[in-house]
């Protein structure tokens, strides 16, 4: 089964930046759209961004547009989330997951049947 591992989280001051990575283990990501999600304590899970298998189509939640950028390097089997201008409300555990429908272009994001969730990486934004 497809397995994903998130990394790159940490503690950052408001206005700072982090780059998250989502790496596949044992399987290639070439055929799959990948979504980034986040969940803060006491809050519902939120879809943050999605990128199609080719990288040609992307989507962002309104709350992160203009601040976050999703990208992928299929040769490295990795999807990235560059997070700039971070604010305290961005504090959450960030997860990546795969759309099981091959060659999805993120049309249903943040809906859809995303699966193969990683373990998550903690992002904390605090002064």
- Taking every pair of C-alpha atoms in the chain, what is the biggest distance, in angstroms? 42
What's the pLDDT score for residue 47?
A: 98
pLDDT at 27: 79
Q: How confident is the model at residue 114 (pLDDT cuts 50, 70, 90)?
A: very high
Sign (positive/negative) of CA torsion 80, 89, 92, 124? positive
* Contact yes or no for 78/71 (Cβ under 8 A): no
* Amino acid 1: pLDDT: 72
Residue 84, pLDDT score: 98
Chain mean position to CA 116: 13
pLDDT confidence of residue 40:
97
> Terminus-to-terminus CA distance in the chain, angstroms?
40
Render pLDDT for 55-105 as a digit per residue (tens, 0 to 9): 999 999 999 999 999 999 989 999 999 999 999 999 999 999 999 898 999
Assign 25 a pLDDT band (cuts: 50, 70, 90): confident
């Amino acid at each position: 089964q497809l397995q994903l591992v998130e990394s790159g989280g940490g503690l950052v001051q408001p206005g700072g930046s982090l780059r998250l990575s989502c790496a596949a283990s044992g399987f290639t990501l070439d055929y799959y759209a990948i979504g980034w999600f986040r969940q803060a304590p006491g809050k519902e899970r939120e879809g943050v961004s999605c990128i199609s298998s080719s990288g040609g189509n992307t989507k962002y939640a309104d709350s992160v547009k203009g601040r976050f950028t999703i990208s992928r390097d299929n040769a490295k089997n990795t999807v990235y989330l560059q997070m700039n201008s971070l604010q305290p409300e961005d504090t959450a555990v960030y997860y990546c997951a795969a759309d099981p429908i091959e060659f999805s272009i993120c049309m249903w994001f943040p809906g859809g049947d995303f699966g193969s969730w990683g373990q998550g990486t903690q992002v904390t934004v605090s002064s």
